[in-house]
Amino acid sequence: MPPPADIVKVAIEWPGANAQLIEMDQKRPLSSIIREVCDGWSLSGSEQFALRYADGPQLYITEQSRGDIKNGTILRLAISPGRAARQLLERIQSHGIDARLEALKELAKLSADPTFATEFINMEGIGTLARLVESGTHFGEMLAFTLTAFLELMDHGIVSWDLISLSFIKQIAGYVNQPMVDVSILQRSLAILESMVLNSHSLYHRVAQEITVGQLIGHLSNQEIQTYAIALINALFLKAPEDRRQEMASTLAQKHLRSIILNHVIRGNRPIKAEMAHQLYVLQVLTFNLLEERMMTKMDPNDQAQRDIIFELRRIAFDGENDPTGTEKRKAMYTKDYKMLGFTNHVNPAMDFTQTPPGMLALDNMLYLAKVHQDTYIRIVLENSSREDKHECPFGRCAIELTRMLCEILQVGELPNEGCNDYHPMFFTHDRAWEEFFCVCIQLLNKTWKEMRATAEDFNKVMQVVREQITRALAMKPSSIDQLKNKLRGLNYSEILRLRQSERMSQDDFQSPPIIELRERIQPEILELIKQQRLNRLCEGSCFRKLGNRRRQEKFWFCRLSLNHKVLHYGDLDESPQGEVPFELLSDKIPVSDIKSVVTGKDCPHMKEKSALKQNKEVLELAFSVLYDPDETLNFVAPNKYEYCIWTDGLCALLGREMGSDLTRSDLDTLISMEMKLRLLDLENITIPEAPPPVPKEPSSYNFTYNYS
């Protein structure tokens, strides 16, 4: 007979004594269980003790967290968090250097525990650590442990960052500004400054006064701290007032941040890890967001300086031809020229730039092309203005629409997504990457227009093809602008048609009733094949990231399905594994028979408390939870969309439910199309009738036989 659901069998250790094997009743108060354990070892004062996990992070067990204890868990009897906090606070203020170092080392480890952190903070522990730092008497390991403990304690969100003193900020900034500082101290100092900037508006101004961008850029050559340095640059960039962002961007350009990142990070001798990729993505987004002001600025038709830019476009295109003297003649010539430039409004082209987006950003792009790539600009304009066959490509209209499209593709004006690593190396290879990107794309548009032999009526069709060409090329992650040109060269109009055709899988040919019937017969077999693939992947297992306050100090856990499909095994890991993790290393398990349901997105318990803001959107889309008896949950955040689909499908298959992910639909379409093509090979070039052939008439007599002799 299985034990009651409220009974958990655990082992409890105490130094120098044999472990106690007990059946923990989860309905009993924790204090009563601790008293019983203390009595077993003849320990008095049970209120001075607590239970902790013996493995992993070794967190204290509270009434709120005791539900996480599983059968077979090894626990350890330890002094209570309040008593531990009091002892450590006394030891870190002692005069003995060795004792103080050991105390700070233990404190750095314990500070990650929220229960201990609450007790330590209530004893004014953070103030004590801050004074130790401000005194400037700690160096080396002792200082590194002090900063680690301080950062861990602050990350619990119990104390406001606004309480931090100016002298503490100056001291931390001093470690960043000093030329010869230990790497571990630098890492923690940069992380503390980043947290200050992100969590307090007032501290942003103080940190910005103490830290210069030039000092941070100087740290990018050190591979151990470059991620922390870029994270602080991004934080300063993100929290800077709008009127200072452009100034900061100019400073970064003067200090050659882009080329330093390109040479020391992107083209460095180390592979780029997930956190660094995320910081590069954030920097890319923040840089492009500087374009938002111009993108949302309408052109003032009465502003002479803005109109002069349009005059300059005309002058460059038509080689500064002498203007006629008469006002009417000049106006007529301008109208004709603006028409040849491809503006929608020939009389007053300034009106073309009054829609936002793209606003004045489109005009900026056109002027850059005209001045920096003048030959290309003149060729595009004259090539189309001299055509008389209605196939001319309207440069002005195309440039405006293309700018709007590029803003949408690169999400100009959007906040960075938490967890997204989608940076493009080529944007770090040029100081004017946005403008160069536009110049490449406008040439692509002109080329595609000619390949499609388009007219003005086909404008939207051409823009759809160009969008597809650009998004497909960006998905290949070209490492430079030249490589982008090569990718786009291979994605001409005929290639896009071929890709579209292959992706449609000739669906038009599969609409006749006999083919639909064949498809319905094949579908169960294919679904079973997909189900087996999903379950096999669950048996191999996957590594998942634990959500925390600081992404750099990532913690991982691994989950896999038993080979007989009856148990989910999972456990914590110190780092991301390379390959499969043996079942023996996964200490926890859930019987599949206990699983009640699988929920996703906002329905997940670990997502309900999170804000559904833009920066959490991506995490929300990758979250799912397993609900199992008795009222327990196992929460996941998949590393990517593919793993999310694999696991949600596999878990649904285990429960006998329909697999409804996008990946299943895609796999089903692909595999059914392949199977049907194989079965229909013998019918190639034969028209399949809509209806079965008629049954022939009965013969006039049945007096016919065949003599085999």
Is there a single domain that holds both residue 321 and residue 430? yes
> Which pLDDT belongs to residue 113?
92
The answer to whether residue 265 sits within a structural domain is: yes
Is there a single domain that holds both residue 336 and residue 454? yes
- Residue 654 tokens read as 């285990």
Task: Encode pLDDT of 195-208 as tens digits.
Answer: 999 998 899 999 99
Residue 75: partners with Cβ closer than 8 Å, 6 or more residues away? 10, 11, 12, 13, 51, 52, 53, 54, 61, 69
Between the alpha carbon of residue 154 and those of residues 114, 127, 279, the distances in Å are: 11, 11, 22
> Which pLDDT belongs to residue 409?
95
The residue count of the chain comes to 709
Residue 57: partners with Cβ closer than 8 Å, 6 or more residues away? 112, 113, 555, 572
Exposure string for 596-623, b = 16+ CB within 10 A, e = fewer: eebbbeeebeebeeeeeeeebebbbebb
Is there a single domain that holds both residue 30 and residue 110? no
β-sheet bridge partners, residue 634: 626
The answer to whether residue 705 sits within a structural domain is: no
Between the alpha carbon of residue 595 and those of residues 587, 632, 652, 657, the distances in Å are: 18, 9, 10, 12
Is there a single domain that holds both residue 343 and residue 478? yes
> Which pLDDT belongs to residue 177?
87
> Which pLDDT belongs to residue 613?
40
> Which pLDDT belongs to residue 37?
92
Report which residue type is found at 634. Answer: L
- What is the CATH classification number for the domain harbouring 234? 1.25.10.10
- What is the CATH classification number for the domain harbouring 27? 3.10.20.90
In the sheet that holds 623-628, the strands lie side by side as 595-600, 623-628, 632-637
Is there a single domain that holds both residue 48 and residue 190? no
Last residue of a domain, one of 445, 466, 500: 500
- Residue 700 tokens read as 């006039």
> Which pLDDT belongs to residue 553?
53
Is there a single domain that holds both residue 52 and residue 113? no
Give the integer Cα–Cα distance in Å for 560 and 549: 26
pTM: 0.74
Is there a single domain that holds both residue 266 and residue 171? yes
- Residue 546 tokens read as 């634990």
DSSP conformation class of 595: E
The torsion defined by the Cα of 444, 445, 451 and 454, in degrees rounded to 10, comes to 180
Q: Which residue has the tokens 């388009």?
A: 454
> Which pLDDT belongs to residue 616?
60
Q: Contact, 167 vs 211, CB < 8 A? A: no
- Phi then psi dihedrals of residue 675, to 5 deg: -65, -40
Q: Contact, 396 vs 349, CB < 8 A? A: yes
Residue 414: partners with Cβ closer than 8 Å, 6 or more residues away? 285, 289, 614
Give the integer Cα–Cα distance in Å for 294 and 528: 54
- Phi then psi dihedrals of residue 558, to 5 deg: -120, 145
Considering only CA atoms, which of 268, 261, 291, 244 is closest in space to residue 423?
A: 261
The answer to whether residue 706 sits within a structural domain is: no
- Structural domain count, the chain: 4
The answer to whether residue 689 sits within a structural domain is: no
Is there a single domain that holds both residue 56 and residue 162? no
> Which pLDDT belongs to residue 572?
84
> Which pLDDT belongs to residue 705?
66
Last residue of a domain, one of 35, 54, 78: 78
Q: Which domain holds residue 362?
A: 294-500
> Inter-axis angle of helices 166-177 and 183-199, to 10 degrees?
140
Give the pairing of strands 74-79 and 7-14: parallel
Of the chain, the end-to-end C-alpha distance in Å amounts to 76
Considering only CA atoms, which of 680, 675, 648, 674 is closest in space to residue 661?
A: 648
Residue 138: partners with Cβ closer than 8 Å, 6 or more residues away? 132, 146
Burial of 573 (0-12, 13-18, 19+ CB in 10 A): middle
Is there a single domain that holds both residue 371 and residue 341? yes
The answer to whether residue 707 sits within a structural domain is: no
DSSP conformation class of 60: B
Is there a single domain that holds both residue 275 and residue 316? no
Last residue of a domain, one of 467, 500, 533: 500
The answer to whether residue 135 sits within a structural domain is: yes
Is there a single domain that holds both residue 439 and residue 461? yes
Considering only CA atoms, which of 128, 120, 21, 6 is closest in space to residue 66?
A: 6
Give the integer Cα–Cα distance in Å for 674 and 683: 15
| Rg, C-alpha atoms of the chain | 34
The answer to whether residue 19 sits within a structural domain is: yes
The residues of the chain scoring below 50 in pLDDT are: 1, 549, 551-552, 611-615
The answer to whether residue 314 sits within a structural domain is: yes
The Cβ-side half-sphere exposure at 205, using a 13 Å CA radius, reads 4
> Inter-axis angle of helices 395-409 and 433-451, to 10 degrees?
120
Is there a single domain that holds both residue 356 and residue 446? yes
